[in-house]
Amino acid sequence: MTDLGLELTAIHKRFGDNHVVRGLEIALARGEIVALLGPSGCGKTTALRMVAGLETPDSGTITIAGQTVKSDAVDLPPEARRIGMVFQSYAVWPHKDVRDNVAYPLKLAKVADANARADRALELVRLAGMGDRFPDTLSGGQQQRVALARALVAEPSLLLFDEPLSNLDAKLREEMRHEIRVLAKQVGITSLYVTHDQPEAFAVSDRVAVVLGGVIAQVAPPSEIYARPASLAVAKFVGRLSILSGITRVGASRAKVQGFELDVTSATDATDVALGVRPEDVRLTDAGIEGRVKRATFLGERTELEIETEAGVLRADVAPGVAPDAESSVRVALDGGRLYAP
């Protein structure tokens, strides 16, 4: 028995001239949650649909819990892949009550105790006792729980999520992403979770796979993706980033900006480099790089600054009480950064 929950090997997909998925490779351990994070149109949904068997790859191999479901020789239909799916649109049937909605996949397969199992799945998603309600009497969050219960009810080998929280308001989204993670871990089902929302990808997953241009640019735990992006493209997509030029490299892990030296990490051996800096590495100080506040945006718990310097624009967060006004002259120190090939 393999310990892989899902493996994609050399997956390609074209729609006409549009080469959307360009050699996708990823392996998930059993029970692992991986988020596919990438900009709109990068091929996330297409990748998920190929795993589900709703779209056919041009080439490549897909293996779910040790069973090959797609290769040159094999092409299992969706219902034979042991998958549960949750989409952005809840896709609940309005004319069926909640229990029937959840039990439907089991009834389709003529499972005897479908209703009892549906009730257990409803308990898992904290909708116990709501089996007789109809979807139009439920909130959006509750409807998405019904969809989640339906994905879980047949005890699949793999859960696929495609932007499942996009229709919910911000507060509910935060709650649900936590809940989905806890639930997936509790049932121990390998999960592939598609989103273009970086905080959501970080909150829900064990590892994040950043998809850019139809390939995985980097796959790593959230903290590593954030602190050590493999390239400038990944760094730009994950979190806020300031990019400074005119940097002198001083050895492997030091750099000089406008006459000030700092410790850095590095994604490149090149001498011609750009410096990527996160807001938390930018500090207002008395003696540092000269800058001018271009914009100060009050956001409640913090004020976001854009500070123009000769090396580029620096984004910084400061406490609202000490925020300088727009147009003031300031000095900034950098506490860290990462070097990239520009």
Q: If contact means CB under 5 to 8 A according to the sort of partner, which of Mg ion, ligand ATP, none does residue 93 touch?
A: none
Q: CA torsion 266→268→272→273, rounded to 10°?
A: -40
* 71-93 residues labelled b (16+ CB within 10 A) or e (exposed): eeeeeeeeeebbbbbbbbebebe
Report in angstroms the alpha-carbon separations of 231 from 50, 63, 141, 265. Answer: 27, 29, 37, 12
Q: Is 26 one of the binding residues for ligand ATP (CB under 6 A)? A: no
Q: Is 20 one of the binding residues for ligand ATP (CB under 6 A)? A: yes
Calpha distance 331→48 (Å, rounded)? 47
> Residue 274, by phi and psi: left (phi above 0), alpha (psi -120 to 50) or beta?
beta
> Residue 188, by phi and psi: left (phi above 0), alpha (psi -120 to 50) or beta?
left
Shortest distance, position 221 Cβ to ligand ATP, whole Å: 22
Report in angstroms the alpha-carbon separations of 182 from 83, 152, 204. Answer: 19, 14, 9
Shortest distance, position 16 Cβ to ligand ATP, whole Å: 7
Q: If contact means CB under 5 to 8 A according to the sort of partner, which of ligand ATP, Mg ion, none does residue 20 touch?
A: ligand ATP
Shortest distance, position 204 Cβ to ligand ATP, whole Å: 16
Task: Please pick, from the candidates 43, 164, 291, 337, the single residue that binds ligand ATP as defined by CB under 6 A.
Answer: 43
Task: Please pick, from the candidates 150, 196, 278, 338, the single residue that binds ligand ATP as defined by CB under 6 A.
Answer: 196
- Piece of the chain touching ligand ATP by CB under 6 A; list 33-41, 106-114, 249-257, 315-323: 33-41
Contacting Mg ion within 20-39 (CB under 5 A): none
Q: Is 164 one of the binding residues for ligand ATP (CB under 6 A)? A: no
Calpha distance 64→56 (Å, rounded)? 16
Q: Is 198 one of the binding residues for ligand ATP (CB under 6 A)? A: no
Residue type, 256: K
Shortest distance, position 40 Cβ to ligand ATP, whole Å: 3
Contact residues: ligand ATP, CB under 6 A: 15, 18, 20, 38, 40-46, 196
Binding site for Mg ion (CB under 5 A): 45
